[in-house]
Structure 1
Amino acid sequence: MKKKSVELVKRYRFFGIMIAVTLVILAVRPAMGVQVYSLAISSVLEMLGVLPPIFILIGLLDVWVKKETMVKYMGKDSGIIGVLLGFFLGAAAAGPLYGAFPVAGVFLNKGSRLANVFIIVGAWASMKIPLLLFEVAAMGWQFTLIRLVMDVIGVLVIAYSMEKILNDDDERQIYELARKMSQ
């Protein structure tokens, strides 16, 4: 029991420190403290509006897509299909970047290649389709195309570099952590 409480304190120590700091700010500069807390509440409410639909979609993905299918299209031997599917899934995704991580966990649990999961997260962060359309209207086709090509190259370099840098034990730990988080 004592070990669990020590783990809990370690896990949430940053959160506790931040609460203490913001309480000090609230005591010393009340107007700024109120602003800090109102911003925090606003952010939490925004997350609560985004995360439930993402979790519902993740649950459906987990139930509807068989592991064998995921391995075939996103696994180690998926080749260019896995890369293209990763870019499409990331670019077509809705919601902020923090929504990509639970999705990445489901893909890891289903046997997706690590590089393909990195591609999904990278595409989610940098090349969403609605934002590309807005960028074309604001900045023009030439700028958007150059940025998109650079993003594709950057995401590929980062995804494959990360996969190469990680040794087998690191990769095993990532898959194991994703499995534990899904339970």
Structure 2
Amino acid sequence: MIKIAKRYRFFFVLAAVNMALLALNPVVGQKSLSITWNNVLEMLSVLPPIFVMLGLLDVWVEREAMIKLMGERSGVMGVGLAFLLGSAAAGPLYAAFPIAGVLLKKGSKLSNVLIFIGAWSTTKIPLLLFEASSLGWDFMITRLLINLPIIALIAYVTEKTLSADEKVQIYNTADDLH
């Protein structure tokens, strides 16, 4: 019971804050509950397809294939695939992290997984098209050309600054979550 309470402590704190707001200021409390409920519904609409995709990725893609495509010796192909997967993805950024965990579990290089997360957050194709239509093609292309090397640089610097023990801990955590 204590383990469950510890695992869901943020949920319990949020519920307590919402109840306190409802008791102290009903108008604000109702607005808070409404926002919370809308967020829960949004997550429930996004997460099931992500978990189906995770299951398929876990079953269909062999570890050896992932190591070849995005592992330590994947080189430019691994970087390109990481950018492509992140840019073609759909959904909010929080959906990228379970996928990143599966990529780590399957043997992807840490920097490639970090590139995937960076691409998911900044180079998604719908975002680029929106920018091009509302801010212009020059802005979109300039931002993209700045973001691509910066994402790769951040990923490589992050990987190089982590110790071997920290990397092992990251990979072990990914294995433990799935």
Q: Which residue of 2 aligns with 1:135?
A: 131
Q: Which residue of 1 aligns with 2:68?
A: 72
How many angstroms apart in 2 are the aligned matches of 1:6 and 1:165? Answer: 36
How many angstroms apart in 2 are the aligned matches of 1:19 and 1:130? Answer: 35
Q: Which residue of 1 aligns with 2:40?
A: 44
How many angstroms apart in 2 are the aligned matches of 1:65 and 1:11? Answer: 31
Q: Which residue of 2 aligns with 1:168?
A: 164
Match of 1:30 among 21, 26, 33: 26
Q: Which residue of 1 aligns with 2:96?
A: 100
* Deviation per residue, 1:30-55 (Å, 9 max, x gap): 01111111111111111111111111
Q: Aligned-pair RMSD on alpha carbons?
A: 1.1
TM-score of the pair, normalised by structure 2: 0.96
How many angstroms apart in 2 are the aligned matches of 1:162 and 1:169? Answer: 14
* Deviation per residue, 1:134-168 (Å, 9 max, x gap): 11111111111111112112211211111011111
Q: How does 1:106-125 map to 2 (within 5 A)?
A: 106-125=102-121
Query: Percent same amino acid at aligned positions?
Result: 52
TM-score of the pair, normalised by structure 1: 0.93
Q: Which residue of 2 aligns with 1:13?
A: 9
5+ long unaligned stretches in structure 2: none
Choose 51-60 or 6-15, whichever is displaced more: 6-15
Q: Which residue of 2 aligns with 1:58?
A: 54
Q: Which residue of 1 aligns with 2:174?
A: 178
5+ long unaligned stretches in structure 1: none
AA at the equivalent of 1:53: P
SS of the residue 1:116 aligns to: helix
